[in-house]
């Protein structure tokens, strides 16, 4: 309610840009102090009407955004990021990947960056220090696994630990699901067990179900109707061209947006000075948080909201195009 009063008061008492800017100052301070989805939604449309403020923080998704369809970061994107950094703009990578899977791409950025990984469960400083964790409770994880036991061949428990067991699946896992990726890319992290429930000896980062959408989509309805539902955050990432979907079961409230809010506060940067760029449903809360939300030209249908900007396809260096237009003004 306080947001609505501030907006109406500013519009009625202060005509022109000055009135809008006064409202912006109040809302920016309010959001930086305490952001949540309900608060942000009540003023997001108004904030998008205001003139752009200088961008001080760029939040970037990886797959389908900074990383193109050839699993590469273009030279144009790297140069644009470097140019932004030279102007004092901070960059944070915000990805659904684990830190180990994100690290090869983060290493290609020509300066140290912060990293939000596992869809907002972990935040690391540019120096690698973990400053934020939001993990799924072990007890809730057990409830989840029991509820979706029919999807066990596609289910993985992810833990914040080095070495084998970081990704854990059952012996019944099949290559059509995440197992195929892990056998190829994370064999030294993979542990197979007879019963996935027995692996829950500590709080996992998350439970993930992955594979062809037709095989795994039924899991959401089961969880929505279960006793675990009030305690979990359910997030989809969809890749129609690859016939692949990832269904992440996180701790309630865990999202890219909440983790980005934490990092922006840590850096004393208002949401109004944040540009976020993404392409998929797991980017939604991050885009809603940012004062300047930008979706890729290849974004998933249904993601974009009114007023959000659109940049080029990831194969056409869409990140660089957005930075050049909204940060470098070239």
Q: What is the pLDDT of residue 44?
A: 52
* Average pLDDT estimate for 71-100: 97
Q: What is the pTM of this model?
A: 0.85
In the CATH scheme, what is the homologous superfamily, with its name and number, of domain 57-130+257-326?
HAD superfamily/HAD-like (3.40.50.1000)
* Average pLDDT estimate for 215-234: 97
Structure tokens at 143: 């409830």
* Average pLDDT estimate for 53-67: 96
Structure tokens at 245: 């979907």
| pLDDT band, residue 5 (cuts 50/70/90) | very low
What is the rounded average pLDDT for all residues in the chain? 88
* Average pLDDT estimate for 161-173: 96
Q: What is the pLDDT of residue 49?
A: 52
| pLDDT band, residue 24 (cuts 50/70/90) | very low
So where are the chain's domains?
Answer: 2-49, 57-130+257-326, 138-251
Q: pLDDT tens for residues 118-147?
A: 999 999 999 999 999 999 999 999 999 999
pLDDT above 70 covers a percentage of the chain that reads 84
Q: Are 298 and 79 in contact (CB under 8 A)?
A: no
Buried b (16+ CB within 10 A) or exposed e, 303-314: bbeeebbebebb
* Average pLDDT estimate for 96-124: 97
Q: pLDDT tens for residues 178-223?
A: 999 999 999 999 999 999 999 999 999 999 999 999 999 999 999 9
CATH of domain 138-251: 3.30.1240.10
Beta-bridged to residue 236, according to DSSP, are 247
The answer, yes or no, to whether residue 40 has pLDDT greater than 90, is no
| pLDDT band, residue 45 (cuts 50/70/90) | low
Cβ-count burial of 43 within 10 angstroms (0-12 exposed, 13-18 middle, 19+ buried)?
Answer: buried
Beta-bridged to residue 274, according to DSSP, are 57
Q: How far, rounded to the nearest angstrom, does the alpha carbon of residue 82 sit from its chain's CA centroid?
A: 22
Q: What is the pLDDT of residue 296?
A: 98
């Amino acid at each position: 309610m306080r947001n609505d009063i501030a907006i109406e008061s500013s519009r009625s008492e202060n005509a022109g840009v000055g009135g809008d800017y006064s409202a912006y100052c109040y809302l920016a301070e309010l959001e930086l102090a305490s952001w949540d989805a309900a608060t942000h939604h009540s003023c997001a449309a108004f904030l998008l009407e205001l003139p752009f403020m200088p961008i001080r923080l760029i939040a970037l998704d990886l797959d389908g955004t900074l990383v193109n369809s050839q699993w590469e970061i273009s030279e144009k994107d790297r140069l644009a990021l470097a140019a932004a950094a030279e102007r004092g703009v901070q960059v944070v990578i915000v990805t659904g990947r684990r830190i180990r899977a994100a690290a090869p791409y983060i290493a290609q950025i020509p300066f140290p960056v912060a990293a939000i990984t596992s869809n907002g469960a972990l935040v690391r400083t540019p120096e690698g220090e973990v400053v934020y964790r939001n993990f799924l409770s072990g007890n809730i994880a057990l409830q989840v696994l029991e509820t979706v036991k029919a999807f066990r061949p596609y289910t993985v428990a992810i833990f914040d630990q080095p070495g084998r067991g970081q990704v854990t699946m059952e012996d019944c896992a099949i290559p059509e699901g995440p197992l195929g990726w892990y056998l190829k890319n994370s064999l030294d992290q993979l542990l197979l067990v007879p019963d996935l429930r027995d692996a829950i000896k500590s709080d996992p980062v998350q439970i993930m179900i992955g594979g062809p959408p037709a095989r795994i989509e039924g899991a959401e309805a089961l969880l929505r109707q279960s006793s675990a539902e009030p305690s979990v955050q359910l997030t989809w990432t969809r890749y129609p061209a690859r016939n692949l979907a990832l269904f992440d079961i996180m701790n309630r409230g865990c999202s890219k947006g909440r983790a980005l809010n934490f990092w922006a506060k840590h850096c004393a940067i208002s949401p109004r000075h944040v540009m976020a760029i993404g392409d998929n449903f797991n980017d939604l809360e991050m885009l809603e948080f940012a004062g300047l939300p930008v979706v890729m030209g290849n974004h998933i249908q249904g993601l974009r909201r009114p007023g959000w900007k659109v940049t080029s396809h990831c194969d056409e260096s869409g990140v660089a195009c957005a930075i050049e237009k909204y940060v470098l003004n070239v």
